[in-house]
Structure 1
């Protein structure tokens, strides 16, 4: 029985009800033929007792891992995946990397035994402060070291999980960026001191960033990871590679569709910034596309909480289009998600752009 046959009814339902349920689609660019696409999964808690918005149950996590094993997915270490992207190396079909954010204890108690059983590599983006303070629901350095011995990579997630996009009262741009640099240096040093690892990979807290922060990250030699969904690939921005969040309503009934996805080949976008201002609460997003194995006429875009958006093609070749929110975006984080089915209907090509509206006081919402 073919994958397209199995997915057809599920995809149909998702496309029909997506505006009313949740914003499923999100992405970042990839190889036009898909040979360089890979999916990066993002988890937080693996528990029945933690907030559903940041959790999957142990039962769901096992189903995810079993699906990867049964369908012969190529699960790669994240470091190797990034190297392949940067060197434009072809990747096997169905390539996936597994990541966790924040270093919660349930990674060790629930996820690690399942991953170790299958011999799968994974990455934990560590926030050292709660680990140092021995917080009850966080891992210890001893547990982190144990996991590195059987396939875990440890990476940078800031020292205290603060909103990097926020400036302190009276803080200049230069002081803000200097503070960001110092935090990354301190976090990386702490991980290296405790585990010997220093891989120069960084996950943005809350998925929030700005052009200035991304330039700084790149100057420091880091690869960055966001929280916008979709596959990554050739055209991806290495300061904010996409990951599929696996928590709450995400990843329960659509896991197969997500891990089989491709990256929509977005070669450029305007604006480049995520920040929106009070005088531009319905921002336009303009995307340029490379040719690829996707149906342009079936391309659709959505906004979080707003359903389907109008797509306006700006040239006859259908390589440039614009989309815009139907109503003002609220304070907090919003995404425009664009998706197109492959020519044979077996996968979806996805792209996501994250927007961030701060409060009037310049604060970000948790």
Structure 2
């Protein structure tokens, strides 16, 4: 039971930070990689600063049940089942005794692709503290529809892929935790509704801590790759969830007639400095914030210039009243090509 796995609370929090890694290598694309040296520094930071590193399933259960977590609670995840997780990350994780989750794409594992893990290695890591979860069979763009495909057919294809992937992981490892990471962090309200209907928890690639108000079909994770997490790792792992109770629009998709989308947020009370809240857009810097009420609980913000094809994020942050933490919220936007395709 989760109650026995979480230590007595000296300082309680309603947030958990979920870290997302792909490659742990200096020979893979920088945009999806951290070097082994950086990964070692990250884990050493967590250990030396006495972070509470727990399994992802336990963090999710605590958040959903509104059970207080210890301050500085972190969970570690990897996407895609790359070989470098086994060769470069697993020895470090074993050294520190940290549990972790791998979101597995079975097709390259089944086909013995060179840079991917084997089922034997995945089972070995499962015995050493890894949770194995769902990341689609072949890492396709779930948001894309096939030519002539109806919405019902599209959602049926997504559901079938989810079931086939979960069955394959269970057949090969014995695990079935019904947790799912969106490929490329891309999703839509229709896909999320299907995921929720099937009893899964979903995870995105938008930054921020997860909290009691988070959407459990697209929980935030901090991407750790390239420039991200190298110089500001300590700030991110100490962050807390900005208490966003409602968001509009609900979708990430933007259309040609709305290339500077407006985001509206409603905030609950919390230990953050409202007057210091700032929002930023990828590649655009700081955005203007307009408060829509005197109590400063409802705001809107908008891009300064049209968003490009691909993925963009609005990040909103505010310091805590003590100045020791940042409260963080991120929304991912997705602009498809004119042909309705998503970029890799």
TM-score range, shorter chain: over 0.9
Q: Under a length normalisation based on structure 2, what TM-score does the superposition of the two structures give? A: 0.96
| Distance in 1 between residues matched to 2:312 and 2:96, nearest whole Å | 36
SS state of the match for residue 102, structure 2?
A: strand
Aligned pair partner of 1:67 in 42, 45, 48: 45
Matches within 5 A, 1:235-254: 235-254=213-232
Aligned pair partner of 2:324 in 346, 351, 360: 346
Matches within 5 A, 1:142-153: 142-153=120-131
| Distance in 2 between residues matched to 1:118 and 1:326, nearest whole Å | 44
| CA deviation after TM superposition for structure 1 residue 308, in Å | 0.6
| Distance in 2 between residues matched to 1:80 and 1:248, nearest whole Å | 29
State the match for 1:161 in structure 2.
Answer: 139
Give the number of aligned pairs: 334
Aligned pair partner of 2:175 in 193, 197, 211: 197
| Distance in 2 between residues matched to 1:34 and 1:70, nearest whole Å | 20
State the match for 2:260 in structure 1.
Answer: 282
| Distance in 1 between residues matched to 2:64 and 2:108, nearest whole Å | 33
| Distance in 2 between residues matched to 1:278 and 1:224, nearest whole Å | 28
Say which structure, 1 or 2, has more relative contact order (CA 8 Å, 6+ apart).
1
State the match for 2:305 in structure 1.
Answer: 327
Structure 2, unaligned runs of 5 or more? 1-10
State the match for 2:293 in structure 1.
Answer: 315
| CA deviation after TM superposition for structure 1 residue 150, in Å | 1.1
CA contact (8 A) 2:25 2:34 kept: yes
| CA deviation after TM superposition for structure 1 residue 88, in Å | 0.8
State the match for 2:101 in structure 1.
Answer: 123
SS state of the match for residue 308, structure 1?
A: strand
State the match for 1:37 in structure 2.
Answer: 15
| Distance in 1 between residues matched to 2:97 and 2:284, nearest whole Å | 41
State the match for 2:276 in structure 1.
Answer: 298
Encode CA deviations 1:148-191: one digit per residue, 9 max, x unaligned: 00100000000000000000000000000000000000000000
User: What is the RMSD computed on CA atoms of the aligned residues?
Assistant: 0.8
State the match for 2:4 in structure 1.
Answer: none
| CA deviation after TM superposition for structure 1 residue 34, in Å | 7.0
SS state of the match for residue 312, structure 1?
A: strand
State whether structure 2 residue 113 is matched by structure 1 residue 113.
no
CA contact (8 A) 1:228 1:354 kept: yes
